[in-house]
Amino acid sequence: MHGRPRKAPKPEDEAASSAKAQKLRALQTQFFSFHHNKIYTKEAVELSAKLLEINPESYTAWNYRKLAVEHYLNLPDCNPDSIKSVLDDELRVVENALRQNFKSYGAWHHRKWVLSKGHSSIDNELRLLDKFQKADSRNFHAWNYRRFVAESMKRSEQDELKYTEDMIYANFSNYSAWHNRSVLLSALFDKKAEGFLLKEKVLPEEYEFIHQAIFTDPDDQSGWFYHLWLLDQTVTTDSPLLASSWPVHGSDVLLVGDRCYNGSAFSPFSALHSDSGSFPIVLYFNQPVGGVNSSTVTVECGFNKNEDLLWKPLSASNSQTARVWVAHLKVPSSDLHSTVEVSVGHTKGIISTRGFEYGHPSMFSFKVHVQPMERDSSQVSVAESISLREENFKVYGKQSEESIIDSFDQLIIKNGHETTASNWRFEALAKEIECFRELLSLVDCKIGKLTLARLLKAYDAMSYPFANKLVHSEEVLELYSDLMKLDPTHYQFYKDERSIVLLQKVTSSKGSLLQHCFQYKDSVSSAICGPICLRLNNLSLSRMGAFEKLLWVQMLDLSHNELQSIEGLEAMQLLSCLSLRNNKLRSLTALEPLRKLKSLRILDISYNQIGDHSIDTTRYVCSSPLSHSVGSELNRDETVTSDVALINNWEAFYIFKDFNLNQLDIVGNTIADEKFKSVLVKIMPKLKQLDGKLLD
């Protein structure tokens, strides 16, 4: 265990182990007989105690004793003295079991259950805990139980905070004590207890406290975890905020039946092709929220009723909370020029997953212009055959560049009320940055570099809305590059973090964004052109981010990267054309975010690793395989499941069945044989082109 080599057992040890196993089997046989026959005699209960003394992890034995206790408590002649005697016996059995294994889940849970009956004195519990915590001060079972006891005794958080401080001074390498301190402070902040009303008064003292541990031994990780918690408390605002939206405030949205008009009055960020008679309104919050509906978000316009709008969360699971929410606004097919006003949070009900109300009502407005346009056959072929290759793009002209630059500042919502409130946060982060620069000048410490990178990232993220630039992005990128070399065990984590920083840098300024914006070369006339194609290819990206700045994108080139996941891409509701060519996507379920992109018509997933791995590990990336939404809406009555080919490719069916693709490229994946392609054609009857070949 933990890297220790196994040693061959001695003959006498083997004999003792064999005798113990034989005794345990005999006890278990007799115990199960009593349990199955619901026998709760004194002899039967004592036998379960012997079993638990040998094996404290026998959950069945603990549950049997609960049933036995309930049996005695429900006897007609039961009185307060007999109740106390029964429960005291249980506490003694638990204590004996903990002497054998004081990390036994079942024993600690059983002790909680006994005390929750309310007939036992709790005064002795802290003395018992002191005994166990002297044996192992980091035993998290004992710390969990201590929280239960402190709450039962109505012991104040301040007293417990002092206890954690004493334990940390005794041994600062105490993960559990640091963790308990974070739990206690969180409770005090939530209660707004006296002396803990303002984080800016408490957190600086906590930073000073943790510095003592970190500077004493930079290689001890326990203090670093607490510092990470402090950083989260510093940068995370309690109330959720609206970070960005599409359409953006003050924009003109032009919808046409075929192509996007991009005249001088219309920004390429808001020109939109729509063949569904509607367009999305996207709200992007700075943290996951619930309660977004037609009561908490009102949309006023002259062509649609607010109550008709259905707001949906965009998340990888079927959760009713998400950072991104979308509703589709229906528009008439005739000419239209109208103003739309969206009010967010003027009525209470939007609540973060941490339980905080959306406290800063906001409003944005935009104009909608609908211009029907007929297509001729020559335009159809151009629009429906798109290849995101280098030779098919050209840079924007000067007029188009000015249009992009004028629109850039509208992409992010600036929450002005944060400026004053964030002063203490800036000061705290600046002080920590200075502190860890000093530490790294003294010692080469991996976790110190990681912490400095996090601090610089946090400082830039907080200052960006006011400074319009990321001051430390180059330094952060260099730190993650160093960590990838220094700590190859966690290479992928650093790579993912570096990818997010790189994307934030690309989208942080007008100049850097413009370098990645291209125009698809085919156009029907000087007045009609394709939308911007954002080309983020060949950047070695392994993870996507900065979605709040990409809601406007309709054409996206992510080819020749190292993406294994496209989580978060579901926020980009305008995407109609996407290239994921030459990445490292390993399974069909990795494509799940695309199921929520109702405008997607052209998809290139060629030359990935789909089918290389017999086990689809993507579905286990989330917290539980059961929370994964692929196939969760299975309708066993669907006649399509009678097709053997589709049954054998059920993941393909549930990924692609809701797609409305015209063009798909899947060549270069192990899974992409002729048989699989025929399955895709069955699943997507509207598909017109597969791997560059027109379908009949």
pLDDT in tens, 654-663: 889 889 999 9
Q: Are 90 and 97 in contact (CB under 8 A)?
A: no
Higher-scoring residue by pLDDT: 479, 133: 479
pLDDT of residue 465: 64
pLDDT of residue 308: 78
- The predicted-structure confidence for 175-231, as pLDDT tens digits, reads as follows 999 999 999 999 999 888 888 888 889 999 999 999 999 999 998 889 999 999 999
Residue 613 pLDDT greater than 90, yes or no: no
Residue 626 pLDDT greater than 80, yes or no: no
- Taking CB atoms within 8 Å and a gap of at least 24, the contacts of 432-438 are 432/207, 432/231, 433/459, 435/211
Residue 377 pLDDT greater than 50, yes or no: no
Q: Are 119 and 151 in contact (CB under 8 A)?
A: no
- The fold adopted by the segment(s) 244-372 is Immunoglobulin-like (2.60.40)
pTM of the model: 0.84
pLDDT of residue 618: 54
- The one-character DSSP state at 534 is E
Residue length of the chain: 696
DSSP per-residue letters across 382-396 = HHH-----GGGEEPP
**Mean pLDDT of all residues belonging to the chain:** 84
Average pLDDT over residues 581-604: 93
Confidence of residue 467 (pLDDT cuts 50, 70, 90): low
**Helix, strand, coil percentages in the chain from 3-state DSSP, rounded to 5:** 45, 15, 40
H, E, C per residue of 281-300: EEEEEEEEEECCCCCCEEEE
Residue 131 pLDDT greater than 50, yes or no: yes
Nearest to 537 by CA among 573, 564, 503, 486: 503
Q: Give the separation between CA 632 and CA 622, rounded to whole angstroms.
A: 14
The share of the chain scoring above pLDDT 70, in percent, equals 83
Q: Where are the beta strands (DSSP E) in 1-82?
A: none
**Structure-token pair, residue 224:** 């670093």
- The predicted-structure confidence for 523-561, as pLDDT tens digits, reads as follows 443 333 456 889 999 999 999 999 999 999 999 999 999
Q: Are 344 and 332 in contact (CB under 8 A)?
A: no
654 φ, ψ to 5°? -75, -20
- As beta bridge partners, residue 313 has 325
- The predicted-structure confidence for 565-576, as pLDDT tens digits, reads as follows 999 999 999 999
Beta strand 362-371 with 336-344 is antiparallel
**Structure-token pair, residue 209:** 């406290």
pLDDT of residue 511: 85
Q: Are 48 and 31 in contact (CB under 8 A)?
A: yes
Q: Where are the beta strands (DSSP E) in 127-248?
A: 242-246
Q: Among 195-199, 402-406, 453-457, 529-533, whose mean pLDDT is lowest? A: 402-406
Nearest to 136 by CA among 191, 175, 166, 187: 175
State whether CATH 3.30.565.10 applies to domain 517-627+639-694. no
Q: Is 308 left (phi over 0), alpha (psi -120 to 50) or beta?
A: alpha
**H-only helix segments in 356-445:** 377-384, 398-408, 418-421, 423-442
Q: Are 577 and 602 in contact (CB under 8 A)?
A: yes
pLDDT of residue 451: 96
Residue 614 pLDDT greater than 90, yes or no: no
Radius of gyration of the chain, Cα coordinates, nearest whole angstrom: 31
Q: Mark 598-627 as b/e (b = at least 16 C-beta within 10 Å).
A: bbbbbbbbbbbbbbeeeebebbeeeeeeee
The residues near 509 (Cβ < 8 Å, ≥ 6 apart) are 468, 469
Residue 494 pLDDT greater than 80, yes or no: yes
pLDDT of residue 360: 86
Residue 376 pLDDT greater than 70, yes or no: no
The label of the residue with tokens 């978000």 reads 297
Beta strand 351-352 with 278-290 is antiparallel
pLDDT of residue 414: 58
The residues near 614 (Cβ < 8 Å, ≥ 6 apart) are none
Residue 628 pLDDT greater than 60, yes or no: no
Confidence of residue 478 (pLDDT cuts 50, 70, 90): very high
Confidence of residue 636 (pLDDT cuts 50, 70, 90): very low
Confidence of residue 380 (pLDDT cuts 50, 70, 90): very low
Domains 244-372 and 517-627+639-694 in one fold: no
pLDDT of residue 665: 95
Average pLDDT over residues 101-108: 90
pLDDT of residue 370: 82
Confidence of residue 423 (pLDDT cuts 50, 70, 90): confident
Residue 421 pLDDT greater than 60, yes or no: no
Average pLDDT over residues 332-346: 86
Residue 625 pLDDT greater than 50, yes or no: no
pLDDT of residue 474: 95
Q: Where are the domains of the chain?
A: 244-372, 422-507, 517-627+639-694
pLDDT of residue 624: 40
SS3 221: coil
Higher-scoring residue by pLDDT: 415, 568: 568
The share of the chain scoring above pLDDT 90, in percent, equals 54
Confidence of residue 111 (pLDDT cuts 50, 70, 90): very high
Higher-scoring residue by pLDDT: 2, 65: 65
Confidence of residue 581 (pLDDT cuts 50, 70, 90): very high
**Which secondary-structure segment (H or E) carries 479?**
helix 473-486
Residue 642 pLDDT greater than 80, yes or no: no
